[in-house]
Structure 1
Amino acid sequence: MIDESAAAKEDIRLWREEIRSLPRGGNLVIALVCVALGVWGVFDSLSDADGDRFWGTLPIIVPGVFAGWCILQMTWRRLDSLIPLLLRFVSACLIAPLFVAVPIGIVQAVAVAFPGVRDEIARSQAANNDFHYWWDEGIGSQLGLVPFAGYMLGGCIALGVSLVIVFPVISLRAPAVVASGSHLEKVPVGQRDYTAAFVFVGLGATVLGIALWNFGRGGSIAEFPDGVARLLEDVSYGYFFWEDTVWLFGVVFVVIGVALMAAGCLRVMFARSSAAADTDESATRQN
């Protein structure tokens, strides 16, 4: 019981320190800049009934900027174990967006409490055929939607940065950290480092490839040869379509990523089989 109590207290201490470290030092500056940009976007959206300006999206985007920055820091920090990485991964995805989304939501709620702000929304909506891109669903809906959407997108951005950048970089810089506590530890020491890199770099390439694939033209992989030929022909005429280019890069990243992950996973499977065989042989000798 004493050991369990001490472990629980240690967990609480680690989480408390992790959460306190999020809005500290340079992170605090980044958070304040993100909040300022988000507030600017809130006030700009009041008169942007057409939704033509980019600034109105800032209240939803900037929580993800801060969350992505928080997890990105792990790529250059010194890591001696997996615990700090896991703590930051969870806190960046679930907690960091709140430090930006909540203040923006509070400022937005306070702003619309003033009649002049509500009148500006009504005037912009009336001048745009009674439609407002940002506030058409009503003030109440917008007050809940903006912080919630910012928080959710922030968590997704932190997750994406983790999978595409952070874990692959750490698997190259400190492979023992990402392999800690996993089946990768069963791989022989001489092969463990690049096996971990295969798995995590392959995962990052696959996730990035899927994103590019969907943001691009989104054709099937069977169309890849024709797509390459079409791109080369377009380039020969001095132009190209970005949708085709992004899609082609997406296909390449997915193929390379899956191949790397397969190579890493096969090594892990062989290592597990070898370890199991050695265990059975040892048990047989003892009997």
Structure 2
Amino acid sequence: MTRDAQRTILLTGVNGQVGFELARSLQGLGKVVALDRTGLDLSDLDQIRQVVRDVKPSLIVNPAAYTAVDKAESDVDAAMRANGEAPGLLAEEAKRLGAALVHYSTDYVFDGTKEGAYVEDDAVNPQNVYGKTKLAGEQAIAASGCDHLIFRTSWVYGARGKNFLLTMLRLGAERDELSVVGDQMGAPTWSNTIATLTANVLAQAVAADDGWWSGKSGLYHLTAGGSTSWAGFAKTIFELSSSEKKPQVRDIPAASYPTPAQRPSNSRMSNDKLYAAFGVRAPDWREALRLCLTTR
């Protein structure tokens, strides 16, 4: 990533939860070309190639993805194209241009059977199509040889789009009691946190010499601090929310709420490598949630 004053950053998925936040947090690091699905559709590989060659970015930031986890079970080709093939193509084009790529992956590459927090070197074993396609994207990027950062995150929520936070607030206004899975653990991660830490890391790249990427390229976990269950997340949403109506949240086992895609029981991931490499650490999930609810 050059230190040219005309540095261009190509941002995908600008209307998504993370993309929307990145469009703001990346300001000041270069000229941001932020595209929604109409401008760059990850299902259209020819368009991807053409857009990258037209824009000629020195950095590509790719939060766009196929994120319908349950639908992916029956829509395998579309999920693989967006999550596996498209990131690989972005990486190939980045390599051709001498550009760098920032990409986002998921806790769902793991099977959830580990007792403690997953680290980057732990064996992957995705249990659903979404996880398998995201893993394929990781592997394609690594195989391309381009300068890259892959950030695995988890349980992403924000003040826009479709996510657990907004679903709970909507259902909580309608019902007196909610049944929520209590035996799956992870770290709810605010989309703003992901964008802010990404921008912090990339600011370090901008300020560094040309050898920065060769020393820092690789895979990192990036989630909020701490962990909870989905039920614990829901209870805290209502605890911190300004809504007058506070429904009761009843813990249920995942087996009582079957879904087409199997979710890992343990999605906790260690952020120690991220901190060691870049000196950044996400806030605790409760504090981030409190801020999100204050600013929404």
Instruction: Please classify the TM superposition score into its range, dividing by the shorter chain length.
Output: under 0.3
Taking structure 2 as the reference length, the TM-score comes to 0.24
Larger Rg: 1
Looking at secondary structure, tell me which structure has more strand per residue: 2
Structure with the bigger RCO (C-alpha within 8 Å, sep 6+) is: 2
Taking structure 1 as the reference length, the TM-score comes to 0.24
